[in-house]
Amino acid sequence: MDAALQEMLDARAIEQLMIRYIDRVDANDPVGAAACFAEDGVGVYWGDYHGREAIADRLAEILAGFTVTSHHLTNVAPVITGDSATSQAYVYAFHRRVDSGDFLHYWGRWVDELRKDEGQWLFVRREVVGVGTMVPGDAERGRSHPGHPGRLLTDADH
């Protein structure tokens, strides 16, 4: 097949993997979300979690804090080389806390490494990189996040 078409098919498969992962997270199904990783995959959720079981446990821990999560995926930019890929994507997520019912908004990036195993793209490494959060009263306005990968500094940042 034409290389540009193959690249588009792979890009679409990668995006659908990300969408399936999110669907499982928002369905409160950490095992289903972890199944989107390769067996030896690493999930970086404020700490490194190795393998599907550890990833599922970590996701369960995070999800236990919320009655609602809604992760909206945009700006998916994979760089595909044969059966390997890297990718940056954007996420905005709405949450409701179990304890208070308060909202939590989150803006971040997913920085991924992927591999195609037997025709199926999977995450080899997936890191969540925060750029912002918002809670009632904007109480976290001064909270620091890693920010957009490679963000350039200017006078305003000092």
Q: Which residues bind a second copy (CB under 8 A)?
A: 1-2, 4-5, 8-9, 11-12, 16, 19-20, 22-23, 26-29, 63-68, 70-77, 88, 90, 92, 94, 96, 98, 101-103, 107, 131-132, 134, 136, 138, 141-142, 145, 147-157
50/72 with CB nearer a second copy: 72
47-52, Cβ contacts within 8 angstroms, sequence gap of 24 or more:
none
Least gap, CB of 85 to a second copy (angstroms)? 14
Least gap, CB of 51 to a second copy (angstroms)? 22
117/146 with CB nearer a second copy: 146
Least gap, CB of 7 to a second copy (angstroms)? 9
Least gap, CB of 86 to a second copy (angstroms)? 14
42/104 with CB nearer a second copy: 104
Query: What is the torsional sign of CA 28, 50, 72, 120?
Result: negative
Distance CA 147, CA 150 (A): 8
Least gap, CB of 59 to a second copy (angstroms)? 12
84/100 with CB nearer a second copy: 100
12/50 with CB nearer a second copy: 12
Contacts of 39 (CB under 8 A, 6+ apart): 51, 52
Place of tokens 């971040």: 108
Distance CA 23, CA 29 (A): 9
Provide the β-strand partners of residue 86: 79, 113
The beta strand positions in 29-102, using DSSP E, are 37-44, 48-50, 66-81, 84-97
